Amino acid sequence: MAGYDVSVGRDLLPGLLSGQDGLAKLVEAVLNQILEAQVTEALGAERHERTEERAGYRNGTRARTLYTRVGPVTLLVPQTRDGSFSTEIFKRYQRSEQAFVLALMEMVVQGVSTRKVSAITEELCGTSFSKSTVSALCAGLDGRVGAFNERRLEGDYPFVLVDALFIKSREGDRVVSRAALVVSGIRSDGYREILGVKIGDTESFATWDETFRWLKGRGLKGVMFVVSDSHGGLTQAVAKHFQGVTWQRCQVHLMRNILGSCSAKIRADVAAAAKLVFQAADMAEAKRRLAEFVERFEKTAAKAVACIEEGFADAMAVMALPEKYRRRLRTTNMQERLNEEIRRRERVIRIFPNDESALRLIGALLAEQNEVWQERRYLDMDEFAEWVAARAAAGESNNVVALAG
């Protein structure tokens, strides 16, 4: 990404201390300077500059309003004579901001919000709005979110990570719990990709079964490892749709289960000992440390011992991989961080006006995060490809070599 030098006029500084308007003006000034720098970079020349490298000419500006959490800002988007200039500011920023504002708008229009929410929405939008305004904005955003969430999945995804978070949504006069099922993958080129999100009644076999069928119908293939927690419905759906694939039980979730099975008095000691098991350099060492754990806590924390023994094999499946891949694939932390981003917005909304609003906001956030992920490779897959080829050449047909289509 290019770097840009921006400056702040003295007239804006007092306003920063006087309220939200000052901050909005600052954002407006900075973004307009970035737009001017971008068009200069695209054309290869400053305003009125004569140079052989010039690739085109300016043709004025057009005003566009960007609704942000600090209030509406007016951007003067440069135009060129050939119409070739475009900016990523709106594409990369407005989807989630607009979805956030729309969720608040819908709450007000449908009469399910408080006066405080109405005031917040009015401040964000800078103007009043009607039901038809909300409908028009929803239609535009839904198309973009739908295109992302229903796109064709190309290539192989050796690693798939899945998790769910629960939100509240209105259904008629009732407030109901909904599960947002989020699935991500790591492609064979090492880049991460958010594969999609589904809103379900609950986290059950039926909802995961539908979700995996949907993903495979869109082209998900080449799966070798699935990383998740041990929710019964989820593991059943994984076994059905990804036969022959290795399931990695999230070690963080297992640790929570272990600590929930022992008294608070010895919880710190149990956590430290269990951590040593998960951090072992190889399976032989892990088994030795597991035996020590069992011997130490079988009388004082029998339930914790039973929990780690039951989950050990699945939680250590990642040990079959080359060492450099284990740290990032032993847990669903990558998914947990996505959930945290969703929670930051969901906490403001608290109760979505409907399922469509929830899908719109979560889908917009995930679409933007997916674009960020494409800027940097997550894993170097060369060693992994060599490892798979070597095992295949040796005639090993165990789970970690088999592919699911």
Does the residue 404 lie in any domain?
no
Task: Give the CATH number for residue 387.
Answer: 3.30.420.10
Does the residue 53 lie in any domain?
yes
pLDDT band per the 50, 70, 90 thresholds, residue 298: very high
Same domain as 293, residue 159? no
- The tokens of 151 are what? 């796109």
Strand ranges in 53-172 using DSSP code E only, listed in sequence order: 58-68, 71-80, 159-171
Same domain as 176, residue 69? no
Among 331, 352, 368, give the residue marking a domain's end: 331
pLDDT band per the 50, 70, 90 thresholds, residue 79: confident
Q: Which range, of 23-37, 345-359, 380-394, averages the lowest pLDDT?
A: 23-37
Same domain as 358, residue 271? no
For residue 65, pLDDT over 80 is answered with no
- The tokens of 72 are what? 């509406």
Does the residue 33 lie in any domain?
yes
Strand-pair partners of 179: 166, 200
For residue 7, pLDDT over 80 is answered with no
**How does DSSP classify residue 325?**
G
Among 87, 111, 143, give the residue marking a domain's end: 87
Same domain as 182, residue 110? yes
Query: What are phi and psi for residue 137, nearest 5 degrees?
Result: -65, -40
Same domain as 271, residue 298? yes
Does the residue 310 lie in any domain?
yes
Contact (CB, 8 A) for 263 and 278:
no
Chain-centre distance for alpha carbon 329: 16
Terminal C-alpha separation, the chain: 36
Sheet holding 246-249, edge to edge: 192-200, 174-186, 159-171, 225-228, 246-249
Identify the pLDDT of residue 69: 57
| Number of domains composing the chain | 3
Mean pLDDT value across residues 381-402: 76
Nearest 5°: the CA angle 329, 178, 104 is: 105
Which string of b and e fits 79-93 if b means at least 16 CB within 10 Å?
Answer: ebeeeebebebeeee
| Cα–Cα dist 150/153, whole Å | 9
Does the residue 261 lie in any domain?
yes
Q: What is the pLDDT of residues 214-257, one digit of tens each?
A: 999 999 999 999 999 998 899 999 999 999 899 999 999 999 99
Q: Residue 33 sits in which domain range?
A: 10-87
Chain-centre distance for alpha carbon 371: 10
Among 331, 358, 374, give the residue marking a domain's end: 331
User: What percentage of residues in the chain have a pLDDT greater than 70?
Assistant: 76
Closest CA to 380 of 303, 309, 315, 323: 323
| Cα–Cα dist 195/273, whole Å | 36
Identify the pLDDT of residue 117: 47
Identify the pLDDT of residue 246: 95
CB count, 10 Å around CB of 76? 15
Same domain as 61, residue 186? no
**How does DSSP classify residue 243?**
T
Residue 374 or residue 3, greater confidence: 374
Identify the pLDDT of residue 88: 62
269, containing H or E segment: helix 267-278
For residue 326, pLDDT over 50 is answered with yes
Query: What are phi and psi for residue 64, nearest 5 degrees?
Result: -135, 140
| Cα–Cα dist 46/187, whole Å | 41
CA dist 277 → 22, 127, 260, 403 (Å): 54, 58, 18, 29
pTM: 0.71
For residue 147, pLDDT over 50 is answered with yes
Same domain as 283, residue 318? yes
Same domain as 145, residue 102? yes
195, containing H or E segment: strand 192-200
CA R_g for the chain = 26
| Cα–Cα dist 314/25, whole Å | 54
Same domain as 237, residue 200? yes
Nearest 5°: the CA angle 182, 185, 191 is: 130
How many CA atoms are closer than 13 Å to the CA of 115, on its beta-carbon side? 0
Same domain as 202, residue 262? no
- On average, the pLDDT of the chain sits at 82
| Cα–Cα dist 223/236, whole Å | 16
Same domain as 168, residue 255? no
Same domain as 208, residue 106? yes
